[in-house]
């Protein structure tokens, strides 16, 4: 009996058979998508959205057109009104009011600081006669606040008469102008 030894090497072993893939059900198969067919429509939609945003047709999120906003600028001035249009570079504020400080000519009591008097002024009542609309450069806006209906500023504005006579000349004036009611100042509501 002849025994022969044979050694097996890696080249002698058969290679593993690749596992067969099962075909996917039709509901899971991906159909080829022609991206080029959708590209023109996506471009048209993007251009329309961009044009609406630039023209200010798309409204400012979270703001109602009838609500009052306070816009605080980098120069320390604050304006109150309705933001009716907002673009990336500009805000349009209508029905505009602002605070004007007047020097307190009466001396205060010793030991107590004297504070300047504040008057709420309506834009458009100034000597140069601007329209009641402002376009504000967004680079100068520090922040914008929504004003509540019970805000003293909103209550003062809403209590003001809707039509005020034209401003009196700077050289003379009526008793009402001296009292600060018909030259653009808004009298605070009486309680």
Highest mean pLDDT among 18-32, 82-96, 156-170: 82-96
Q: What are phi and psi of 143, to 5 degrees?
A: -165, 165
Upper half-sphere CA count for residue 1 (Cβ side, 13 Å): 1
Q: How far apart are the first and last CA of the chain?
A: 128
Q: What is the pLDDT of residue 54?
A: 58
Q: Kindly state the average pLDDT of the residues 74-102.
A: 90
Per-residue pLDDT at 101 exceeds 90:
no
Write the CB contacts of 161 (distance below 8 Å, at least 6 apart in sequence).
Answer: none
Whether residue 129 is contained in a domain is answered as yes
The tally of domains found in the chain comes to 1
Whether residue 24 is contained in a domain is answered as no
Residue 99 banded pLDDT, cuts 50, 70, 90: confident
Report d(CA 19, CA 114) in Å as an integer. 91
Per-residue pLDDT at 190 exceeds 50:
no
Range of the domain at 139: 69-107+115-162+178-186
Structure tokens at 155: 């209550």
Q: How many residues can be counted in the chain?
A: 191
Whether residue 74 is contained in a domain is answered as yes
Q: What is the pLDDT of residue 135?
A: 93
* C-alpha pair distances (Å), 162 with each of 73, 110, 134, 157, 177: 27, 41, 19, 9, 17
Structural element, H or E, at residue 146: strand 141-146
Q: What is the CATH number of the domain that holds 103?
A: 2.30.30.100
Whether residue 39 is contained in a domain is answered as no
pTM above 0.75, yes or no: no
Whether residue 76 is contained in a domain is answered as yes
């Amino acid at each position: 009996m002849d025994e022969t030894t044979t050694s097996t090497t890696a080249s002698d072993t058969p290679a593993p058979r690749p596992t067969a893939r099962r075909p996917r059900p039709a509901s899971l198969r991906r159909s080829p998508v022609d991206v080029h067919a959708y590209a023109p429509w996506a471009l048209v939609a993007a251009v329309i959205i961009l044009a609406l945003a630039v023209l200010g047709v798309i409204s400012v999120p979270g703001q109602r057109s009838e609500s009052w906003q306070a816009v605080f600028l980098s120069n320390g001035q604050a304006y109150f009104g309705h933001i009716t249009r907002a673009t990336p570079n500009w805000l349009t504020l209508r029905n505009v009011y602002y605070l004007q400080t007047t020097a307190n000519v009466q001396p205060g009591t010793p030991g107590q600081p004297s504070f300047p008097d504040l008057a709420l002024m309506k834009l458009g009542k100034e000597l140069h006669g601007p329209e009641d609309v402002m376009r504000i450069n967004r680079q100068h806006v520090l922040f914008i606040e929504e004003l509540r209906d019970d805000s003293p500023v909103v209550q003062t504005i809403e209590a003001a008469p809707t039509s005020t006579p034209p401003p009196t000349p700077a050289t003379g004036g009526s008793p009402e102008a001296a009292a600060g009611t018909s030259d653009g100042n808004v009298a605070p509501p009486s309680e």
